[in-house]
Amino acid sequence: MSALSLHLTARLPGFTLETGWAVPGGFTVLFGYSGAGKSLTLSAIAGTLRPDSGRIVLSGRTLFDSVAGVWTPPQQRRIGYVPQNAQLFPHMTVRRNLEFALKNVSRTERADRVAELLDRFRIIDLAEKRPHALSGGQRQRAVLARALAADPAALLLDEPLSALDLPVRVEMRELLREVQRDLGVPMVMVTHDLYEACALADTLVVYSGTGAVQVGRPHELLGDPATPEIRRLLHAVELPESALARPARLHIVADRKESVA
The domain locations on the chain are 4-78+152-260, 88-151
Q: Which residues neighbour 8 within 8 Å (Cβ) at sequence distance 6 or greater?
A: 17, 18, 19, 20, 41, 44, 51, 53, 54, 55, 56, 64
CA nearest to 19, candidates 260, 261, 254: 254
**pTM above 0.85?**
yes
Instruction: Kindly list the averaged pLDDT for each block of 10 residues, start to end, along the chain of length 261.
Output: 91 92 96 92 97 97 98 96 93 97 93 97 97 96 96 96 92 95 96 93 89 88 90 72 45 34 30
* CATH code of the domain occupying 4-78+152-260: 3.40.50.300
Express each pLDDT in 34-50 by its tens digit: 889 999 999 999 999 99
Interatomic CA distance for residues 261 and 257, integer angstroms: 13
Express each pLDDT in 126-135 by its tens digit: 999 999 999 9
Strand partners, 188: 28, 156
